[in-house]
Amino acid sequence: QDLVYQSIEKISSQNIYIYYEHQSIPAENKRELITSFTITLMKSSSKCISLLVGLMAVDAFQPSSCTRSMDRSSTTGKSTATTGMALLSNVTSDDAEKVQKRRKRDKIMAFLRNKGAVGRNQDFSTAMGVDEGPVGKNKSAVRKIEKTAAAYKWCTDTGIIDDCSEPFPTTPSGSEWTGFTDQVMGGVSIGKLERQTIDGRECNVMLGKVSLFNNGGFIQMAQELTTNSAVSMTVDASAYDGIELDVYYRGEEEAEKFNVHLRTPACIRKFSSFRNTFEVKAGEWQTVRLPFDEFVGHGPGVVDTQINTAELKRIGIVAIGKAMEVNFGVAKVALFKNE
């Protein structure tokens, strides 16, 4: 509603008069109508806007610039409309006005994207960061809640970090996969993440090209492990023995190597992490187990130290250190216990 009010207030200042028809509309359709109404405003020409808006109650939509005339039927008890068309008279449109209107439209679209009403496709082709995360910010573990917070479970309770059971890029713990490349360091590697089905299995796929040019050399998919950063920035995985992945590699090589990187509070620099390298064959689903005691500290704060699994912050799956085409599917990331 706030967006509708703002939109009408701006457009009314340009002598565009908007009328609407009041009808009985189910409450669950109200938000859809408001969104549709706003998008119609953005798509309309600069010379004429014709709108017919239905809302359940007059109080839900009362911009001061709208004129309404209501006639209540004594026999049906329902409101009927006596107003109809939207009129515009003698509106001039020079180049400056067109630019101003386009900027306003862009702002509205940006607002809708931020609220998730439009532009829900996830594309990380231009995402940038060092190999352990974005530069200059600490990404929240939960960017967008699709259901109640109680519905998400801590990965240390379930043993599941991700099994592709939630809409991409969300995980069962409520965090989200994010893609990073080496471009902020001057590299030219490119990459993106998307959901695919490979041999009948839903999986998150890391696609791209790793280049060693200009001291670059990686692309990565990563996520924070905490379900609620307000409760704890880390998870206690000390009851488990390592990380298990179900992966699928597609490429020209018969086999390829990838990394798993884990971060804890001891990783004091952006490029510090505990790392483990594994190799997978091309063209088949494989399960890989990486024991925690085989992860090696890399970077300030963690060199020659044992990983503290009671304080895990972040996990990343990385194609690094070699020029390569990357087409790597991940159907499951979990914590495992030795039997």
Q: For the purposes of burial, counting CB atoms within 10 Å of the CB of 271, is it exposed (0-12), middle (13-18) or buried (19 or more)? A: middle
At residue 82, the pLDDT reads 37
At residue 148, the pLDDT reads 78
The 3-state DSSP class for residue 255 equals strand
- According to DSSP, the residues that pair with 17 across neighbouring strands are 87
Among 318, 330, 189, smallest CA distance to 258 is for 318
pLDDT of 215 > 80? The answer is: yes
What are the angstrom distances between the C-alpha of 234 and each of 185, 224, 237, 245, 312? 27, 9, 9, 21, 5
Whole-number Å distance between alpha carbons of 277 and 217: 15
Q: For the purposes of burial, counting CB atoms within 10 Å of the CB of 6, is it exposed (0-12), middle (13-18) or buried (19 or more)? A: middle
pLDDT, mean of residues 200-221: 94
pLDDT, mean of residues 136-141: 42
Percentage with pLDDT > 70 across the chain: 61
What are the angstrom distances between the C-alpha of 59 and each of 1, 64, 319? 11, 12, 55
Among 139, 150, 118, 331, smallest CA distance to 244 is for 331
pLDDT digits (tens, 9 = 90+) for 158-181: 999 999 999 999 999 999 999 999
Mean pLDDT of the chain: 75
- Our separate counts of H helices and E strands in the chain read 4, 16
Predicted TM-score (pTM) of the model is 0.61
Q: Which amino acid, residue 246? A: D
Whole-number Å distance between alpha carbons of 322 and 216: 10
At residue 131, the pLDDT reads 60
Q: Provide CATH code, domain 153-336.
A: 2.60.120.430
Ranges assigned E (strand) in 117-186? 160-162, 178-181
